[in-house]
Amino acid sequence: MRVVGGILAFLLLLAAGAWVGWNYRQADKTIREIAVRLPSEAEFDTMPLERTSEELKLAMNDCVRVAELEANPVARAFKGDEIGALRQHCDLIKARQDALQGP
């Protein structure tokens, strides 16, 4: 019985490690993708209004993904600072979108 319990404990530990590793890689990949796609404030300032509206819509989709990353405990534990920086950038994008839409 002890051998079976030891094997099961090992398999459980192995599965948990694989899950953490997979979540870490997915979070890292997602953060890099979002960071590349989100336009900077300087880029928004130089865009024509029509393109700005389009880019804001696309950026808000990426910001939804940032919220999903914030809900992932593994991503928060290992990539919390990077997720926080993306959240701040998304907050600025949301404010810009609200300013363009008006009251």
Task: Tell me whether residue 89 is in a domain.
Answer: yes
In a domain, 97, yes or no: yes
Residue 12 is assigned to a structural domain of this protein:
no
Please answer whether residues 70 and 87 qualify as being in contact, where contact means their C-beta atoms are separated by less than 8 angstroms.
Answer: yes
User: Residues 36-80: pLDDT tens digits?
Assistant: 999 888 888 888 888 888 888 889 999 999 999 999 999 999 999
pTM: 0.81
Query: What's the domain count of the chain?
Result: 1
**Is 31 within 8 Å of 69 (Cβ atoms)?**
yes
pLDDT tier at 12, thresholds 50, 70, 90? very high
Instruction: Note whether residue 52 is domain-resident.
Output: yes
Domain assignment present for 8: no
Q: Which domain holds residue 36?
A: 22-101
* In 1-103, alpha helices (H): 2-37, 41-46, 49-71, 73-101
